[in-house]
A and B are shown apart, each in its own frame.
Chain A
Amino acid sequence: MNPAGFSEQVRRAWAVAKKDIRIYYFKGPVLIFGVFMPVFLFLAFFMGSRQLPLSFLISGLVGMTLFFTATAVSPAIFPWEGSAKTLERLASCPVTVEAIVFGDMIASTLFGIGITFVTVIIGLSLGLSLLHGITLVAAILLAACCFSAIGMLLAVPPTNVPSNIMMLSSLIKFPLVFISGIFVPLEQMPAWGLALAVFSPLTYFTDIVRYSFTGTHYFSVWIDIAALGMFTLVFTFGTMYLHKRTMPQRM
């Protein structure tokens, strides 16, 4: 057995992910937050924008749910573990920083996927028909990876105070929701809004979800998939590189 080998590190990342799920995700408040937060945001806009069709809003709800759930807990795990000194325990184990980050990403990806399927079921139960199911499943898997990488990127500043990171996280996440075509269709956005939207991975995911439910889209599906894939790669390698640099400052 080569402990530093790729397959061995992936196995150990899975152990980190299982630990995260058990300790941080399988908690009542976290699960409730994961479901209620997007539902209430959706209800607020549903009641305030009656001219928008339900299919449009459900697509936004699915986008928001995945985005919020995949980035809900992961930014706080490093600060939590840093203050509890359990991060030092992990750092003294034969696990690379990349494997620890990857493990945290796996946990938030699975959490995001699980909760998002609940909202898809809500959409279907409200009478929407799913036109492109396989495309939707593929997009959810890819976007969950992308958003969990964003969650880990938010945890890069080496503070062990979770509230600092959660504040930074909210400052970045909420504006991203408003420029990603969730509440205002991309077609109706001003030029400056559209220019911002192309830099948000949530834009491409929402576009695919809309395509899956309504058959209409702004970008072609392949552009959406390619953009999500590119964001996923950049964010994943970026967060691993940055965490490797900031990890010693947490100890």
Chain B
Amino acid sequence: MTAVIHALNLTKVFGSSTAVDHISFDVREAEIFGFLGPNGAGKTTTTRMLTGVIPLDAGTATILGHDIRSEPVQAKQRFGVVPETSNAYTDITAWQNLMLMGELYGLPRARAEQRSSDLLGMVGLLERKDQKVQAYSKGMKQRLILAMALIHEPELLFLDEPTSGLDVQSTQMILNLLRDLNKQGTTIFLTTHNMEEANRLCHRVGIIHGGKIVAIDAPEKLKTAIDRVHRIEVSFDREVPGESLGLLQGVIAANRTGDKWQITADNRDTTIRSLVTFSQQNSAAIVTLNTLAPSLDDAFLRLTQEAKP
């Protein structure tokens, strides 16, 4: 699959501190790539380098086939950016902001007007298009920023914490828009703190910590990769011998918690089969059986703690 973003040994140094330390990764065409990391990990600095806002100190970044250092204008023409801080011009109206973006991306006036109208309708701001942006709420500003980033129908969209601090309505609207855009083929590079958002939205996530990439994979693979042991929760309709549970094939330990048993297993499939056989042998029906997979939060915490210097 074609790499829409190809970052190789990307490095940024501020004084004596290395904010981004020789990171390399690819973002594939039409995928949603989540870029996760704790505060100060280098997420925003990486995004700013990839979008040509700040220069690279070392390495290369190729965006849609254009080197961001030697062909920044050509690269920028093909992507849109939703930055961390809302940065629409507040002294002019939403419509004027969109028309300005249209001109900066070289759109013919009629096309810019059509796109502005469509996008404002899409983000629910059409009725307030002639109002100055300073009167907008945070959620409205963020939706406007998204519309501004989409004015030229970019093939790639960078978003830096797009739903941070927003109400549920604006968050859902933005996430649904991102899903729809992705379905239409737009590649999305999403920086976020929100694990649930990344888990539900992203095809792959990259985790950065201390300026270094500590993992890149699909969310489900990351979750399962961090734990070699699995946890299963099971309950029966009658008392069963606990010591026998602990001796079943695949089971490492069995601990009672209330009316349930917490099973630690080295092989999930073998253990479930053993539990089914065990219930039949003891004439005890299984009431509940849950596999407790680690969350992306668990994976994130584990990976970033392991990477601590």
Contact = CB atoms under 8 A, between A and B. Distances in A.
A4 B73 CA distance: 6
A19 B89 contact: yes
Contacts of A248: 53-55
Interface in A4-23: 4, 8-9, 11-12, 14-16, 18-19, 22-23
B48 interface: yes
Given A11-B103, A12-B104, A92 B53 contact: yes
A14 B236 CA distance: 75
A223 interface: no
B122 interface: no
Given A23-B91, A94-B105, A251 B73 contact: no
Given A3-B73, A89-B83, A93-B76, A23 B52 contact: no
B48 A3 contact: no
A92 B73 CA distance: 9
Contacts of B83: 85, 88-89, 92
Interface residues of B, number: 30
Contact of B87 (A8, A19, A89): A89
B182 interface: no
B232 interface: no
Interface string B56-99: 00000000000000011110110001010111111110001000
A72 to B, nearest CB: 18
A59 B138 CA distance: 51
A12 to B, nearest CB: 5
B245 to A, nearest CB: 59
A1 interface: yes
A95 B73 contact: yes
Most chain-B CB neighbours within 10 Å: which of A11, A84, A92, A251? A92
A38 B51 CA distance: 44
Contact of A4 (B74, B86, B96, B104): B74
Q: Which of A9, A91, A93 has the most CB of B within 10 A?
A: A93
Given A1-B106, A93-B105, A84 B92 contact: no
Interface of B: 48, 51-55, 71-74, 76-77, 81, 83, 85-92, 96, 100-101, 103-106, 148
